Copies of this chain bind each other. A is one copy, B any other.
Amino acid sequence: MHKIPVGVLGASGYAGRELCALVSRHPALDLAFAAAHARRGERARIAGRDVTFVAAEDAPLDQAALVFSALPHGASGEWVGHARAAGAKVVDLSADLRPGAEQPAASGPAGGAPYGLPELARDQVRGADIVANPGCYPTATLLALLPLLTRGLLAPGATITVNAASGVTGAGFTPRPDLLFAEVTEDYRAYGVGNTHRHLAEMRAVLDDFGADADLVFTPHLLPVARGILATLVVPTRERLADASALWREHYAHEPFVEVADEPPALRDVVRRNVARIYVSPAQGTRQPTLVVVAAIDNLVKGAAGQAVQNANLLLDLEETLGLPQ
């Protein structure tokens, strides 16, 4: 079978390397280039093959049918434009094109890029040339909420509380003293406390699309693990749901990458897999009907590179599950 050439920009970071590995193992894709400015000329062994990084300037964009951009927020937009100009479809893993971005691209090559959460917007992605790959926290949070959002079951005026914890690869591969092993081991902390994390706007924008009448309070935490996100949501509902779990199961019955679990998920249930694993339970003893929803993903797979390949499959009209570890 003739493989489709794809390229990766920002290939030396955690998401970029995960992308290179997924592409290398993908039965229908071929890695045309892996660009990483700071490491240009270096060779790395990824998924059993040797990859030589090139500078982005030297990347043969026109030889790729599709380009993944795992460049940093702010820097990605320009290269998305170059890739589109060269005729490539684009999956942008940065926040630049996502709803709620500070300077969303309303027009131009990326204007109106659909939000690539396939479980929410599969049909818009399928026909598109470019897609904004969701953030890791929003992926876990929104998949936890979709069954309620689509049915209008949130309590009016509710406060949705999202407490999420992420492994340190979520902070990227840039060396920072606070991410050194000796600083992270045996530690745990909250950050972005008080609704100041970038991902809030992205989640908020999707809630607004649904016309949700709800406050959202999001607090991320840094876990002493390499990979994985666990989001714990407390959600007031319009009424008590006789069988909340059944509702989630029904909603996701045909989704290949969402598992509704009988027990609260653990990171190890999802690490290295392109799935979200979700558990829902009513809160006992509350006057206000309230659900607790727990969602786990691998921040680098379903929260980044895996979802990007899922989107690429849709953009390229391939089977959506192709090349993805379930």
* Residues of A near any B CB (own CB < 8 A): 14, 48, 157, 159, 161, 163, 165, 167-169, 173, 175-177, 179-191, 193-196, 200, 204, 215-217, 219, 221, 223-228, 230, 232, 234, 236, 264-268, 271, 279, 281-288, 290, 292, 294, 326
What chain B residues lie within 8 Å of A234 (beta carbons)? 159, 161, 163, 217, 219, 234
A180 touches B168 (CB 8 A): yes
What chain B residues lie within 8 Å of A186 (beta carbons)? 185-186, 225-228, 267-268, 271
CB distance from A12 to the nearest CB of B (A): 9
Residue of B179, B194, B285 touching A281 (CB-CB under 8 A): B194
A177 touches B173 (CB 8 A): yes
**In the complex where A186-B271, A226-B186, A271-B186 touch, is A285 in contact with B204 (Cβ < 8 A)?**
yes
What chain B residues lie within 8 Å of A183 (beta carbons)? 181
What chain B residues lie within 8 Å of A265 (beta carbons)? 189
CB distance from A100 to the nearest CB of B (A): 11
Chain B's closest residue to A282 (CB) is B194
New A-B contacts (4) at CB < 8 Å, excluding given A159-B286, A187-B228: A194-B292, A215-B286, A219-B234, A234-B234
What chain B residues lie within 8 Å of A232 (beta carbons)? 163, 190, 193, 219, 221
**In the complex where A165-B221, A217-B292 touch, is A226 in contact with B266 (Cβ < 8 A)?**
no
What chain B residues lie within 8 Å of A284 (beta carbons)? 194-196
Chain B's closest residue to A178 (CB) is B175
Residue of B48, B175, B290 touching A175 (CB-CB under 8 A): B175
Residue of B169, B230, B326 touching A221 (CB-CB under 8 A): B230
Complex alpha-carbon distance, A264 and B192, angstroms: 9
Complex alpha-carbon distance, A191 and B296, angstroms: 13
Instruction: Count chain B CB atoms within 10 A of each CB in A177, A221, A230, A282 and give the residue with the most.
Output: A221
What chain B residues lie within 8 Å of A216 (beta carbons)? 286
What chain B residues lie within 8 Å of A230 (beta carbons)? 188-190, 221
Residue of B180, B181, B189 touching A264 (CB-CB under 8 A): B189
B225 touches A188 (CB 8 A): yes
Chain B's closest residue to A165 (CB) is B188
Residue of B168, B266, B267, B286 touching A182 (CB-CB under 8 A): B168
What chain B residues lie within 8 Å of A181 (beta carbons)? 168, 179-181, 183-185, 224, 226
Chain B's closest residue to A223 (CB) is B188
What chain B residues lie within 8 Å of A157 (beta carbons)? 287-288
Complex alpha-carbon distance, A190 and B196, angstroms: 24
What chain B residues lie within 8 Å of A326 (beta carbons)? 48
Complex alpha-carbon distance, A177 and B12, angstroms: 11
Complex alpha-carbon distance, A230 and B169, angstroms: 21
Chain B's closest residue to A164 (CB) is B163
Chain B's closest residue to A159 (CB) is B288
